[in-house]
Amino acid sequence: MSGEQWPSLPLDEWRDTYATLHMWLQIVGKVRTRLSAPVNHSWSSALFVTARGLTTSPLHSGSRTLEMSFDFVDHKLFIHTTGGAVKVIGLFARSVAEFYHELFRALHALDINVTINPMPQEVPDPVRCDTDDVHASYDPEYANRFWRVLVQADRVFKIFRSRFLGKCSPVHFFWGSCDLAVTRFSGRRAPERPGADRITREAYSHEVSSCGFWPGSGPIQEAAFYAYSVPQPAGFKDAVVMPASAWYADPPGEFILRYDDVRISTDPDSILLSFLQSTYNAAADQAGWDRAALEKTP
């Protein structure tokens, strides 16, 4: 395995693995959601980057506590309980349905009884996870690369997050959209979003400036960093941001910085931080956030 910190992640090289892994992440993420007390803006549903993969963090089922962790080094999903029991599920090329049923057999063997809606979210043409024999690819090299990118993004996002005193989300991974994100809040309520579903309405109940990373989807068919503001203030999309290679894309209505522009630079951390900071500056300035009260000197 290469020691490259910012590995290449061309979407076309691992598109099938990405689709399968996304469904596995959704299954585990849905279990996390069912076994977690609700927290604002769906924060109780997200996963977290670890030194080996992604984790649910501790979950509670009655008096039992468990944690599910993807390991993208040894390519296993571990289910640990505080009682000392462990179940291990291999990550290899097999269908989403097979993974789904093995996971729930393991949970039942641990006396963890939970049910989820097996229909995936936030993907086109969804197939029920418990019957999905369409997605069955797994390239361990690219799963490992994906995690290594998340490790670097998580590290830099946490530096960026430390500069904010106001309400701010953790740096966390949303399994629905398959992206790592961190979100800052102005402290003011946002106007109602006409036609928004329940999750979107609650997610954007307050003004936010958000940024993140995802492997590519929709109109952006490559790994990229993004930044957006809700509600989007007038002039935001015309703001001058850094680096010069970043641009405003509509759709999806966000500033975009290609992952490869960060990866091949001589100082990836500085390039990424300049993007995160300049897009936040644009959002906060245009919307009139109380920046003196919300920020601290790095």
Span 21-65, pLDDT tens digits: 999 999 999 999 999 999 999 999 999 999 999 999 999 999 899
Give me the DSSP letters along 220-270: B-S-EEEEEEESPPTTGGG---SSTT-EEETTTTEEEEEHHHHHTSS-HHH
Residue from 69, 118, 124 nearest 96 by CA: 118
Q: What is the total count of domains within the chain?
A: 2
Mean pLDDT of 279-292: 97
Domain boundary among 105, 131, 157: 131
**What per-residue confidence (pLDDT) applies to 2?**
39
Token pair, residue 200, equals 């979107």
Count the Cβ atoms, other than its own, within 10 Å of residue 108.
Answer: 11
Mean pLDDT of 178-185: 98
Under 8 Å between Cβ of 184 and 164? yes
Query: Is 125 found in the same domain as 19?
Result: yes
228 has a pLDDT exceeding 60: yes
Query: Is 155 found in the same domain as 94?
Result: no
Structural domain range at position 121: 11-131
Domain boundary among 64, 98, 131: 131
Q: What's the pLDDT tens digit per position in 100-132? A: 999 999 999 999 999 999 999 999 999 999 999
Query: Is 184 found in the same domain as 111?
Result: no
Under 8 Å between Cβ of 259 and 9? yes
- pTM of the full structure: 0.95
Domain boundary among 131, 160, 181: 131
Query: Is 154 found in the same domain as 126?
Result: no
Give the span between the Cα atoms of 100 and 27, in whole angstroms: 7
Q: 184 or 191, which is more confident?
A: 184
